[in-house]
Amino acid sequence: MATQKLLSDDEVRRHPQAWAVFEDIRATRQSDFINNFWRALANDPPQLQRVWEQLKQVMMTEGELSPLVRELIYIAVSTANGCSYCIHSHTAAARAKGMTDGQHAELLAVIGMAAQTNALVTALQVPVDAAFQVGAA
């Protein structure tokens, strides 16, 4: 159970700022479904709006990384941070954006590899090579 109430549509409708965000989520995603994260955040309408606006700018604008690649990165961070909800929601989002089983398998292999070498490097306290500094040849 969440540490704040998950607000129903009826409850959100009472707060114009929050309701406007819910309407924008529905219009943007072209779906009536609004997942629990937003229903929890809706308890703080300015925070709800801030996070949603930022998500749109970071995840949904045109850019040099495809929407799918951004989702893969999101899953990678969420895994390293141990956020179960985020792993579930962004794995679903990645699938909705076309992630294949093969891509998912490769994503997991890279995540596991990185976690392993992160740990080895940290246990070994390896000093950064001069060649990896910005501007080095």
Show contacts with a copy of itself in window 101-130 (CB under 8 A): 101-129
Binder to a copy of itself among 19, 24, 37, 97 (CB under 8 A)? 37
Least Å distance between CB 136 and a copy of itself?
Answer: 8
Between 27 and 130, name the residue whose CB sits nearer to a copy of itself. Answer: 130
Between 16 and 118, name the residue whose CB sits nearer to a copy of itself. Answer: 118
The angle, 0 to 180 degrees and rounded to 10, between the axes of the packed helices 101-124 and 67-80 is: 40
Least Å distance between CB 43 and a copy of itself?
Answer: 7
- The single residue listed with the structure tokens 């909800």 is 85
- Nearest-angstrom CA–CA distance, 125 and 110: 22
Q: Does 20 contact a copy of itself by CB under 8 A?
A: no
The angle, 0 to 180 degrees and rounded to 10, between the axes of the packed helices 84-96 and 67-80 is: 160
Between 27 and 81, name the residue whose CB sits nearer to a copy of itself. Answer: 81
Least Å distance between CB 127 and a copy of itself?
Answer: 6
Q: Of 51, 5, 9, 14, which Cα lies nearest the Cα of 26?
A: 9
| Residue 19, token pair as written in the block | 């309701």
| Region 83-102 residues binding a copy of itself, contact defined as CB under 8 A | 83-92, 100-102
